[in-house]
Structure 1
Amino acid sequence: MILPNITQFSPMFYLTGFPGLEAIEHWIFIPFFLMYLVAISGNCFILIIIKTNPRLHTPMYYLLSFLALTDLGLSVSTLPTTVGIFWFKSHGIYLAACQIQMFCIHSFSFMESSVLLIMSFDRCLAICHPLRYSVIITSQRVIRTGLAIIFRGPVALIPLVVLLKTFPYCGPRVLSHAYCLHQDMIRLACSDTRFNRLYGLCIIMLAMGSDVLFILISYSVILRAMLAIASVGERLKALNTCVSHILAVLCFYVPVLGLSIVHRFGHHTSPLVHILMGTISVLFPPLMNPIIYSIKTQQIRRAILKVVSLGKIQ
């Protein structure tokens, strides 16, 4: 009678690696390790460049710093359990640890969506109102607005995390990813979870849904302003300032949309598809964003070349 009570209050969950591929998980971890290495080192490098270069202490680069921080947090959030599964064959995780990881993953995902929204407003003002840009977009205003919007996700997630602690979990507690997600945990609860499901759907629609809507509105305004420019060269120059952000938006929202479709309608698909989509949704943006901004942003590209050439490039 004691053991059931212990497991009720401290349930252990089982994280899935790659089902059927356990014999080669060490080899599978090699590309994962390289992707984590690029994502973490790339975002750290961008933060260091912006921190140590006073010329980059501008609103646009503060926003890029916010993006790098959220990407870094998203990468680090999934790293412990991924390493544990692939390298140490450690698939078990207690509810408290699972709650913390779930909170971090979803929080950083909401933060990234918020940063991408603010960046779209920044590009909209830079192209549509270039003469007023420096007056409207100041460093202090960007920092205050960024912090206010970024913390909306973690605050909204607190009720979901708290309620997960109160649910009883019965049957095999097998999670379908290498890390904890709310939609994955809630299906294992053997009690009424309608509030969690409805509340989770509402905050996704109100947060990420509204972010996507306003990003689309921003780019519709940008497109309208670009079409009003007579010179083709000026149009291309204006478009070039948006390319990095557009690619970052696609890298973040397309995998998230794909994962949502797989969870909703892919009940009969292979578990490997779910795991692959889940991994892409949390690892692809932190991996690609440093590469995108390193290639498309001249100042960061020059800083990278300077490091590679041991300071010979001025």
Structure 2
Amino acid sequence: MLDLHRLRLLREVHDRGTVHGAARALGYTPSAVSQQLSVLEREAGTPLLERIGRNVRLTAAGHVLVRHAATLLAGVEAAEAELASVAAGRVAGVVRIAAFQSAFLRIVAPAVRALAVSHPNIRVEATEGEVEQAVPALRLQQLDLVVGDEYDGQPRPVHVDLQREPLLREHIRVVLPEDHPEASADRVKISRLSDIAWAACQPGTGHREMQVRVCREYGGFEPDLRYSSDDFLILLELVRTTGAAALLPDLVLRHGTPGVAVRRAAEADVGRAVYLLTRRARTPPVDAVAAALRDVLSLSGS
């Protein structure tokens, strides 16, 4: 009989591309993972992996097992959630969610507070995380929900095994020092901000790519990206204290921004979609958490 734990290891190796990557993700040593996969190959009666340089790839038999592993592991997850609910007499279980910072503060945290009252038998484990890192964990059942973001013109990859549900669409605002000459305008022309320093997220992030694209496309200049942080609250403080400019979404600016000017861009309406990702097989506890996230937004008028 095939062991589910070993099937999970095989799927992890497939997604990570190396035994070392799978070992790091799961907290094992590479030798322990290799030993377990050797046992799985004996159970299957056929090779499941072949080495390509320093990496490994699945054989045809390995792909068959990984495909079935996803179904089997989802079934076990659903059975465990249902058993926990039966034992508790109500919807119960552990739900793990990741969200980027502003969504964590404005959506996830209020939802967790509400769930403590409406569903006290659901244990919510929440962590801050960007969608690039969270999606692989969601697909490997290390997370149950991910709140992600997508800037206009920068589509995220589509995964057929995940379900995407829109939560809200927000505007991207121009944030300036109060004493900047353009701060008095209702709408700011990006083309007039070529001489100011900019604050953005780290290289390789969607936010930084969006900011560079907007400056190039609508302003006709390369932004002076002098300050970097993946923390939007730090970016806001950098605008306030250093005189830099930034393009920031509504969720960051919702509760007031003293000391800075917040304006719409004159050339274009730049926006960001915020969405929820789950696996397609959803348990009742995951459905309850998803509903709580939607309720937060409906109550806030978003």
TM-score norm. by structure 1 comes to 0.20
Q: Which has the larger radius of gyration?
A: 2
Bigger relative contact order, structure 1 or 2 (CA pairs below 8 A, ≥6 apart): 1
Instruction: Return the structure number with greater strand share.
Output: 2
